[in-house]
Amino acid sequence: MAIAEEAVKEALTGVNDPEIGMNIVDLGLVYDILIDGDDHVKVEMTLTSPGCPLGEVIAQQVDAAVRGVGAKSAEVEIVWSPPWTPEMMSEEAKERLGWGIR
């Protein structure tokens, strides 16, 4: 059975940025999810800052979440382009963190 991108995305909502206390999907940190025909999954994502001290921990949690939905392998690629900005957050995340208030 092929892994669906939505299943991977849903699993990634269980991975929180520990410094912000919100999941990486709502924060807009997940840029792309690629799944090949053999259920090998690559997650292209970023962090809120290049100096994030918990980047490796987050990457390990992403790996575990992806494998948890049945992926044969998981690759997590941290990219810096485009750079993350608060505008990339979901509307819910913006509201929760006070970014949507004017």
- As a three-state string, the secondary structure of 12-47 is HCCCEECCCCEECCCCCCEEEEEECCCCEEEEEECC
**What's the pLDDT tens digit per position in 8-43?**
999 999 999 998 899 999 999 999 999 999 999 999
Of 42 and 100, more confident: 42
pTM of the model: 0.92
Cβ-based burial of 2 (10 A; exposed 0-12, middle 13-18, buried ≥19): exposed
Number of H helices, E strands in the chain: 3, 5
Mean of the per-residue pLDDT values for the chain? 93
Distance of CA 40 to the CA centre of its chain: 17
Distance of CA 52 to the CA centre of its chain: 14
Topology of domain 5-97, CATH: GMP Synthetase; Chain A, domain 3 (3.30.300)
